[in-house]
């Protein structure tokens, strides 16, 4: 391992120290990491001041558009649904479906949690379902673990595919290929996780078929959409199909509920459902239904719509190398998920009765709520850009190849998992390490898409023991202080999942011949 490789790792080491040892928040730790990276780029890699600042500026541009706008738009839609009362109607609709606590885990934590991950992400898919389960009488610690597990196999394409979109954007790879590979690597976990979740809530006796259907009906459409359409709709479609199949089985095959697993809160929800008209329920779900339809119609499945919208873009020269040569960064102004989500949320909000003033207040509140997260994302992506242009990523890749050689694919998911454990974000992990995975793949002559996907897959597993994810879950369920207990219980699943992904990552390039 060369001295350049070791110096390039200084930023990563700082992030580990800052997050894990010093317990600094991301909006403080990551800007410091950016400053360290910029100084190193100038002193050790001879980047000029213009080059290093324009590289960081390109990172800022990417973090704001399209990444930041997706984050804000997704949270805006969710917060607006809470403000209008639509989220309470959605909760009531879901809770009334079955009186069996085990099936409610599949509907609320798995299906609805996956839907929230696909639509909004950033903690909503863990905190909200966990709070609902506790309200139904679940043990808070178990509710947290169940919802953390539900997030494991789907977060790589959460928040309209931000993690994979970011990783593909930083590496210049095809996002659809990367997302297809990511879902393929996680397919077995998508089927297995619901089994673990149901087992935590009781026996599998009598509900194993519906549990398997819930997982398989998520995995198949998620893969097809991820591989042939793109990352934006993969988790959304998978969760919707899974919820639909689970509800159908709950209403037909699993109508009877074992008294041991009966939930009293369901009776109240069913009473409330009697007063809800079909129109009210459609209005409550309208922002998400419109979002789904708009994203689908503007996808590559409909080239007559996609192509004209995609043509509305601007190429702006931002990064300038030491020779003064400029690299263009392209802004897609209309056909970008953030804009489409905002429009969907606004239309849905009007249908729910929200006026412009309320939407403005919710938008301002969402900006304040996510401001620290946006600072973190901006800093992380700027770090990735500076490291990439300086050559740091290439030096780290060469160092890892020298140490691990052809066994590197075994480490790929672990690297992704460490990234999420450190930062608390799958997006941040993909931002930090996607370029490294791609560069290492190029050096070894292995599939870059497969390794970037393996990084994303490992990153999702890191969520189950991420202190930030656990803190959000415990806050939502009122069991703050139980973080250590949850980590000790969850780490077993984390290790099992990572071992499987490491073997699958290695098998993909050497045994399955993915190139």
326: which DSSP letter? Answer: E
Sorting pLDDT into bands at 50, 70 and 90, what band is 480?
A: low
Which range has the worst mean pLDDT, 97-111, 118-132, 297-311, 352-366?
118-132
**Residue 443, Cβ neighbours under 10 Å: how many?**
15
pLDDT of residue 423: 63
Does the pLDDT at position 137 exceed 80?
A: no
pLDDT of residue 437: 87
pLDDT of residue 337: 74
Does the pLDDT at position 88 exceed 90?
A: no
- In three-state secondary structure terms, 336 is coil
Rounded Cα–Cα distance for residues 236 and 111 (Å):
10
Residues in the chain: 515
**Cα 466 versus chain centre, distance:** 13
CB 34 within 8 A of CB 332: no
Tokens of 123: 């903690």
Residues 6+ apart with CB under 8 A from 106: 194, 197, 198, 210, 211, 214, 246
Mean pLDDT of 163-174: 82
Does the pLDDT at position 165 exceed 70?
A: yes
Does the pLDDT at position 124 exceed 60?
A: yes
The DSSP H or E segment spanning 77 is: helix 69-83
63: which DSSP letter? Answer: I
pLDDT single digits (tens) 55-73: 999 989 988 887 778 778 8
Does the pLDDT at position 158 exceed 70?
A: no
What is the SS3 string spanning 256-320?
A: CCCHHHECCHHHHHHHHHCCCCHHHHHHHHHHHHHHHHHHHHCCCCCHHHHHHHHCCEEEEEEEE
Does the pLDDT at position 513 exceed 70?
A: no
Rounded Cα–Cα distance for residues 189 and 187 (Å):
5
pLDDT of residue 356: 93
Mean pLDDT of 288-310: 80
Rounded Cα–Cα distance for residues 513 and 515 (Å):
6
pLDDT single digits (tens) 182-228: 888 988 888 999 999 999 888 888 889 999 999 999 999 988 888 78
Annotate 42-72 with DSSP letters as a single string: HHHS---HHHHHHHHHHHHHHIIIIIIHHHH
Distances (CA, A) of 7 to 17, 128, 244: 16, 42, 52
pLDDT single digits (tens) 9-19: 898 888 778 87
What is the SS3 string spanning 151-217?
A: HCCCHHHHHHHHHHHHHHHHHCCCHHHHHHHHHHHHHHHHHHHHHHHHHHHCCCCCCHHHHHHHHHH
User: Residue with structure tokens 């949850």?
Assistant: 486
Does the pLDDT at position 116 exceed 80?
A: no
- Please provide the average confidence, as pLDDT, over all residues in the chain: 83
Residues 6+ apart with CB under 8 A from 459: 155, 156, 163, 416, 417, 419, 420, 426, 429, 430
Sorting pLDDT into bands at 50, 70 and 90, what band is 375?
A: confident
The DSSP H or E segment spanning 331 is: strand 326-332
For the question of whether the overall pTM of this predicted structure is more than 0.85, the answer is: no
405: which DSSP letter? Answer: G
pLDDT single digits (tens) 420-478: 776 667 877 787 788 888 888 888 888 889 999 998 899 888 888 776 667 666 765 66
Does the pLDDT at position 361 exceed 80?
A: yes
Rounded Cα–Cα distance for residues 70 and 63 (Å):
10
Does the pLDDT at position 253 exceed 70?
A: yes
Rounded Cα–Cα distance for residues 58 and 72 (Å):
20
pLDDT of residue 18: 84
User: Residue with structure tokens 């809470």?
Assistant: 82
């Amino acid at each position: 391992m060369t001295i350049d490789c070791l110096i390039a790792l200084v930023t990563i080491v700082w992030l580990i120290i800052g997050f894990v040892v010093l317990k600094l928040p991301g909006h403080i730790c990551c800007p410091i990491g950016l400053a360290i990276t910029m100084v190193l780029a100038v002193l050790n890699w001879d980047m000029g001041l213009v080059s290093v600042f324009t590289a960081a500026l390109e990172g800022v541009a990417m973090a704001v558009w399209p990444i930041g706008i997706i984050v804000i738009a997704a949270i805006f839609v969710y917060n607006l649904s809470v403000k209008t009362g639509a989220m309470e109607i959605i909760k009531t609709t879901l809770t009334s479906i079955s009186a069996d606590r085990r099936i409610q885990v599949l509907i609320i934590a798995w299906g609805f949690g996956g839907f929230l991950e696909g639509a909004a992400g950033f903690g909503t898919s863990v905190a909200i379902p966990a709070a609902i389960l506790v309200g139904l009488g679940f043990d808070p610690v178990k509710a947290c673990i169940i919802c953390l597990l539900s997030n494991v196999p789907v977060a790589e394409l959460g928040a309209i595919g931000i993690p994979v979109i970011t990783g593909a954007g930083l590496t210049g790879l095809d996002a659809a290929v990367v997302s297809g590979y990511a879902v393929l690597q996680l397919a077995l976990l998508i089927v297995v996780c619901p089994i673990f979740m149901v087992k935590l809530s009781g026996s599998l006796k009598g509900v194993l078929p519906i549990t398997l259907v819930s997982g398989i009906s998520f995995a198949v459409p998620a893969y097809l959409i991820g591989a042939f359409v793109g990352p934006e709709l993969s988790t959304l479609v998978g969760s919707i199909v899974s919820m639909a199949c689970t509800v159908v089985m709950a209403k037909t095959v699993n109508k009877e509920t074992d008294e041991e697993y009966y939930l009293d809160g369901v009776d109240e929800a069913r009473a409330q459902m009697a007063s809800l008209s079909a129109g009210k329920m459609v209005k409550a779900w309208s922002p998400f239904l419109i979002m789904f339809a708009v994203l689908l119609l503007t996808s590559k499945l409909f080239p007559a719509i996609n192509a004209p919208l995609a043509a509305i873009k601007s190429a702006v020269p931002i990064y300038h190398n030491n020779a003064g040569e400029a690299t263009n960064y392209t802004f897609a102004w209309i056909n970008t998920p953030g804009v489409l989500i905002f429009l969907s949320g606004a239309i849905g909000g009007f249908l729910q009765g929200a006026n412009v003033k309320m939407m403005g207040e919710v938008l301002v509140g969402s900006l304040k709520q996510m401001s620290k997260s946006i600072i973190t994302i901006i800093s992380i992506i700027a770090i990735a850009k500076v490291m990439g242009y300086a050559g740091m990523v290439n030096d780290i890749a060469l160092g890892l190849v020298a140490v691990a050689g052809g066994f590197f694919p075994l480490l790929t998911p672990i690297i992704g998992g460490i990234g999420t454990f450190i930062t608390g974000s799958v997006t941040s992990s993909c931002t930090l390490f996607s370029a490294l995975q791609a560069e290492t793949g190029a050096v070894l002559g292995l599939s870059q898409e497969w390794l970037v996907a393996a990084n994303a897959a490992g990153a999702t597993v890191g969520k189950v023991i991420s202190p930030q994810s656990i803190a959000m879950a415990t806050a939502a369920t009122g069991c703050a202080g139980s973080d250590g207990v949850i980590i000790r219980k969850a780490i077993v699943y984390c290790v099992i999942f990572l071992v499987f992904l490491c073997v699958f990552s290695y098998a993909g390039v050497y045994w399955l011949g993915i190139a």
